[in-house]
């Protein structure tokens, strides 16, 4: 993901209730789903079309945690480190898309109303 990221804006038809995580998710992935779902509902930026991204984010976080346990029990294994690094990268990208990172939360919404006292010619 390169270039400017789009600003987040409230979804036209936001998900308004904390749906249960899909049954097929791992224990760690379900825990992450339950942690972030209330935050996304509160911000009203999650639509039904975004649930796939949320599933993928939860799977990635679950994998990071599962692989960490394997590393701690099995010791140094370069293959595990590579798998964990890829899962971390994927989780970070999806977290940004979902507005779960500090930078993505700081971007203004596209549909914010301009200040009424703004006299800048660019405000129009």
- Is the distance from CB of 70 to CB of 46 less than 8 angstroms? no
The conformation of residue 22, written as its DSSP 8-state character, comes to P
Residue 14 tokens, joined: 């936001």
Which residue in the block uniquely carries the two structure tokens 């984010």?
A: 57
Predicted confidence (pLDDT) at residue 40 exceeds the cutoff of 80: yes
Q: What does the pLDDT look like over 53-62, one tens digit per residue?
A: 999 999 999 9
Higher pLDDT, 84 or 18: 84
Dist CA 72 CA 47 (whole Å): 37
Q: What does the pLDDT look like over 1-37, one tens digit per residue?
A: 566 555 555 655 666 676 789 999 999 999 999 999 9
pTM: 0.75
Assign 43 a pLDDT band (cuts: 50, 70, 90).
Answer: confident
Residue 102: CB atoms within 10 Å: 6
Residue 40: CB atoms within 10 Å: 20
Residue 97: CB atoms within 10 Å: 19
Q: What does the pLDDT look like over 92-112, one tens digit per residue?
A: 999 999 989 888 777 665 334
């Amino acid at each position: 993901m390169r270039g400017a990221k789009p600003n987040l804006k409230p979804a036209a038809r936001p998900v308004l209730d904390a749906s249960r995580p899909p049954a097929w998710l791992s224990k760690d992935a379900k825990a992450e789903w339950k942690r972030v779902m209330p935050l996304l509902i509160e911000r009203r930026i999650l639509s039904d079309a975004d649930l796939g991204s949320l599933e993928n984010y939860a799977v990635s976080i679950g994998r990071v945690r599962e692989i960490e346990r394997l590393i701690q029990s099995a010791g140094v294994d370069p293959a595990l480190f590579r798998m964990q690094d890829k899962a971390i990268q994927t989780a970070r990208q999806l977290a940004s898309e979902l507005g779960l990172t500090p930078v993505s939360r700081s971007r203004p919404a596209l549909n914010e109303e301009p200040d009424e006292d703004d006299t800048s010619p660019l405000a129009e």
